[in-house]
């Protein structure tokens, strides 16, 4: 959580200071084609706690944030595109979290043990540069691309 204090937000030229008392949570709703497979992946492989649910959706506690898997009975759509980053083609769109380095490697081990295929295998990106980070990309059973990363120094998350 962010400590209480003033925080600078906004794009250059549009900055403003706001009082922040806690880090806001995010909500993300994503399409899946099978709730049983979503439950096995999000609950079993990622280890997320299940929240409320209905016949066509499940809430997940995504490290304190709300991710909702909604059944959308349609063929999986391809990525909107790919972006070259550090010699890899990053799928767009994607979502994920920044973890501690230990939690990152533990998750990578769980992904491997589950037999899930990595889009980009775990590796150290930008080694020795500002923003050095471990990163990995994989997909859920519905094809949603996910990136998890871990910074050696989290103060470098937005480093130039």
- Could you give the CA distance from residue 16 to residue 45 in angstroms, rounded to a whole number? 40
- For 92-142, the pLDDT digits (tens) are 999 999 999 999 999 999 999 999 999 999 999 999 999 999 999 999 999
Percent of the chain scoring above 90 in pLDDT: 72
Q: What is the pTM of this model?
A: 0.82
Rounded distance between C-alpha atoms, residue 153 and residue 130, angstroms: 9
Segment 55-68 mean pLDDT: 96
Contact 115, 69 (CB under 8 A): no
Go through the domains of the chain in sequence order and give each one's CATH number. 26-72 (3.10.180.10), 81-159 (3.10.180.10)
Predicted confidence band at 86 (pLDDT cuts at 50, 70, 90)? confident
Q: Based on the number of CB atoms within 10 Å of its own CB, is 131 exposed (0-12), middle (13-18) or buried (19 or more)?
A: middle
46 CB-near residues (< 8 Å, 6+ apart) = 107, 110
Model confidence pLDDT, tens digit, residues 8-36: 556 566 566 666 567 789 999 999 999 99
Handedness of CA 41, 142, 120, 129 (dihedral sign): negative
Per DSSP, the three-state class of 55 is coil
């Amino acid at each position: 959580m962010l400590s209480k204090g003033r925080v600078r937000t906004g794009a250059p030229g549009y900055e403003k200071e706001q009082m922040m008392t806690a880090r806001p949570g995010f909500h993300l709703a994503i399409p899946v084609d099978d709730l049983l497979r979503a439950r096995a992946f999000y609950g079993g492989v990622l280890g997320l706690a299940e929240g409320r649910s209905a016949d066509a959706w499940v809430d997940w506690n995504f490290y304190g944030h709300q991710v909702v898997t909604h059944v959308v009975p349609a063929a999986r759509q391809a990525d909107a595109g790919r972006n070259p980053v550090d010699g890899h083609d990053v799928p767009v769109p994607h979502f994920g979290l920044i973890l501690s380095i230990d939690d990152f490697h533990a998750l990578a081990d769980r992904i491997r043990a589950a037999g899930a295929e990595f889009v980009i295998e775990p590796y150290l990106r930008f080694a020795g540069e500002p923003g050095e980070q471990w990163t990995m990309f994989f997909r859920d059973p519905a094809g949603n691309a996910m990136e998890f990363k871990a910074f050696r120094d989290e103060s470098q998350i937005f480093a130039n």
